[in-house]
Amino acid sequence: MKRTTLTMIMVAAIMTDTAAPIADASSEPVSHNKWVRVWDPLVRIGHWLLLVAIATALITRGEPETLHQAAGYFVAGYVVFRLFWGIAGPKHARFENFLASPFAAFRYLADLVSGKGTRHIGHSPPGGLMVIALLIAMSLTAGTGMAMEGRTPMPAALQNALHIEDRGRDDDDSPWEEVHEASANLILALVILHIGGVALASIGHRENLVRAMVDGKKRAA
Ligand code: HEM
Ligand code: HEM
């Protein structure tokens, strides 16, 4: 009897953690109100897999083709998932809760370096803008990668209007090659800024933001 009750409690606990419901359960208090759940499992798993995929795509630089493109397609899939999750996901994953103006981002950063930064449970204003910038740069890179391969999902008429031909594989003359390289470099620059921002905010607010991206929890106050 006791064993059944214990099993039921365990199942309920797992469901609460992984179901990632549409409402605000991601920020529900955990253990005596000291910790709150901020990042749901899909955001966390997606983040670390994205890191592996981006690193793979940047290191392989086109060759071996299969590995490079598999990583690139993963990134494209992540972008589609994150756009959906930004609308239908739990509270802190939703765009409406972290989209901020560049002015708010600048003010947050200025306050942070002067030691009076406001702590945010979800993304800070520059953190939110970084998510958007990364999503745009990743779409552009993955999209131009596919276009280079002649696998653009564009209708033929639009493809002709833009003078994109189905050139087959690895064409050095593809008009998209330079955009692909430039946007990949942009991703790298954004990632460096992102890591710097995470370090700065972790120090400024005296909290381990990387650990929060692993276990999903942050201090309530
Ligand atoms: C290729 C490298 C990386 C990419 C593309 C990337 C991308 C992202 C994205 C898109 C988010 C938003 C998560 C979401 O709302 O779904 C995020 C958040 C975050 N990332 Fe990364 N990331 C990278 C590397 C790293 C590394 C190396 C670290 C650790 C040092 C890190 C730590 C974090 C943390 C702590 C957050 C949450 C930030 C916050 O509290 O607002 N990321 N990252
Ligand atoms: C967002 C993820 C991606 C990143 C970060 C990325 C990054 C890169 C980089 C840095 C290069 C070397 C550019 C140069 O030096 O000219 C490259 C080349 C290439 N990428 Fe990607 N890529 C991504 C996605 C894709 C996808 C989805 C495809 C195709 C389906 C693709 C196809 C190619 C091809 C064919 C080349 C060789 C171009 C050439 O030099 O002829 N990439 N990529």
Judge if the beta carbon of residue 53 lies within 6 A of ligand 1. Answer: no
* pLDDT tens column, 162-196: 776 655 444 466 788 999 999 999 999 999 999 99
Residue 23: pLDDT band by 50, 70, 90 thresholds?
A: very low
Question: Mean pLDDT across the stretch 58-69?
Answer: 95
Identify the pLDDT of residue 159: 63
- CATH number of the domain where residue 75 is located: 1.20.950.20
**Cα–Cα distances in Å, from 45 out to 7, 26, 63, 82, 213?**
26, 15, 26, 12, 9
Looking at the predicted structure, is the pLDDT value of residue 156 above 80? Answer: no
* 7 lies in some domain: no
Pocket test for ligand 2, best of 68, 177, 187 (most atoms within 8 A of CB): 68
* 185 lies in some domain: yes
Instruction: Give me the number of domains the chain comprises.
Output: 1
Residues spanned by the domain of 180: 37-219
* 170 lies in some domain: yes
Residue 39 dihedral angles phi and psi, to the nearest 5°: -100, 120
CB atoms within 10 A of CB 41: 15
- pTM of this prediction exceeds 0.75: yes
Q: Whose CA is nearest to atom 42 of ligand 2?
A: 145
The end-to-end CA distance of the chain, in Å, is 39
Looking at the predicted structure, is the pLDDT value of residue 18 above 70? Answer: no
Burial of 95 (0-12, 13-18, 19+ CB in 10 A): middle
Identify the pLDDT of residue 84: 98
